A and B are shown apart, each in its own frame.
Chain A
């Protein structure tokens, strides 16, 4: 039974590969152009079928079940003696509890999540941070490590110096410390691995594509660091140098404005395009899938070729294939 399955997968892979070979030949014959205008009739279907059966989707207003025996969870409401969905998503059933998990939604925080956020405001004893949730998150002054590293009571002076530490527009990596009753999050950066982020690029994706993992800080083997925030903000940066750990103010400032090398820039751009390719095919993001996508994309010499919808589908398809192989082992 298993061997049949593998043969079918290999066949699909071979057929896809021969179509790919034709396209690749065409590409090498053309010059890499600066502009690409495609027609709507040439649009590529980005769905990448995974191994399992596709789950059952519910649309808002659709009847889930007629029996009133079940408890209503998130995303459902009761009308006319039956249970209906209020959001578009996948059903989750736990014993008698039915909830609908929406495909695209704002980030809902849990304690212990790693998030990447942008400082929006500097208020009296706290900062307001944007984390792609319904309400802005809060970073209290008492939840940050003051430069110098001492543990002391925050004085009046510290309040005046808040802007020196974090300004409007700064990006930080933080952990969710607490969830308030209205759903807003309280963050903290009380560890050396959290704090202000320096040079790099930010990508915004749907929070539902990000799995909860033990580790969200990944140093990829291709010399690029990736922070996958649970809130859908992904930060790509070159490998952190040891200078930042020392805490010397002048050395840090100098390092922050050093231009990033060409090869590192290329790798960062490639990782960015791979992540966007996985997002376009609605695949789950974690360090293994990003690494697989990176390796599959190496056959495209020019990084900007990965912006083409066909190339994106190709990378996503091959990554899904590799993930399926691992899942079967």
Chain B
């Protein structure tokens, strides 16, 4: 992301602020700006979500398809990410300008979801070795206001939480070939278990310290940012009353990558990863609460869609 033009004294002010853990709008180094989330916005997709984080607007749609599993992983389904940087998002995305950014975001997401402890692909298996579900995750960047990786991972997790997988009703084994019959009833589906899906946290190094959720001005003061993918805690996504009795799962880091021309000392790297883990924990918890709240609201009544009207 090309940075904003800033004067040297403005940069000095921002760096000193980060040093004192008090940014220009009063946030501390691990505070996020208020976000708005809505799921089930795209009616013809199996699952969708829209997330608005300050000036960043992300829309994620998930489609399901039946596919044959990989020969070396016969009991696991597949998941594929595609990121589209819309030219409306920012003037730099005009023409083919957004392609580099799009491919780096989709590669990072693919790496984050690669581990079986992050997202269990076994739940997508239908018939071992023959048929499995393939999820196509389409991420559309509608407006770019910085902090894309975090917003993309939050919206993806929300969309996966919202995804409905049709149930298989009949199965015909015809000498090796499998013929499936899916249920026609739109209310006959199962939800995916996405509690441990990873969230990406971008830590921007400004001066000596790292900040989470940088604004556009803060981003142009830093030379390097670290992106950590942290797995989630299933406890926050379980609506049952007995959920609080479940033990806390250990949080794991599923991917790390860096962005920018600068470099990090080993000690700063360690501190930044710890900071990212704390931020991801709080983020995961909040997202879980918001998603459960929405599911509870829509379980009985017909959902009134807000979508893009406001």
Contact = CB atoms under 8 A, between A and B. Distances in A.
A259 B16 CA distance: 6
A198 B289 CA distance: 43
A269 B22 contact: yes
B12 A37 contact: no
Residue of A37, A167, A198 with highest tally of chain B CB at under 10 A: A37
Contacts of A43: 36, 306, 310
Contact of B9 (A36, A197, A307, A309): A197
A308 B27 CA distance: 12
Nearest to B303: A41
A307 B16 contact: no
A35 B282 contact: yes
A38 to B, nearest CB: 5
Given A38-B35, A265-B22, A272-B25, A171 B283 contact: no
B16 A266 contact: no
Interface residues of A, number: 43
Looking at A34, A36, A199, A259, which has the most chain B CB atoms within 10 Å of its CB? A34
Interface string B1-42: 000011111101100110110111111101111111110000
Interface residues of B, number: 45
A120 B27 contact: no
A198 B95 CA distance: 38
Contacts of A62: none
A66 interface: no
Contacts of B25: 269, 272-273, 276, 303-304, 307
A37 B290 contact: yes
A170 B10 CA distance: 9
Given A265-B22, A307-B27, A307-B34, A41 B9 contact: no
Given A199-B9, A269-B22, A304 B37 contact: no
Interface string B268-310: 0000000000010011011101100110010000001011001
Nearest to B285: A35
Given A201-B13, A269-B25, A304-B27, A41 B286 contact: no
Interface of B: 5-10, 12-13, 16-17, 19-20, 22-28, 30-38, 50, 154, 279, 282-283, 285-287, 289-290, 293-294, 297, 304, 306-307, 310
19 contacts: A34-B32, A35-B282, A36-B286, A37-B154, A38-B36, A39-B294, A40-B306, A120-B5, A169-B5, A171-B10, A201-B10, A259-B16, A259-B19, A265-B20, A269-B26, A272-B24, A272-B25, A304-B25, A306-B26
Given A39-B297, A200-B13, 7 more contacts: A35-B282, A39-B36, A43-B36, A43-B310, A199-B13, A256-B12, A307-B25
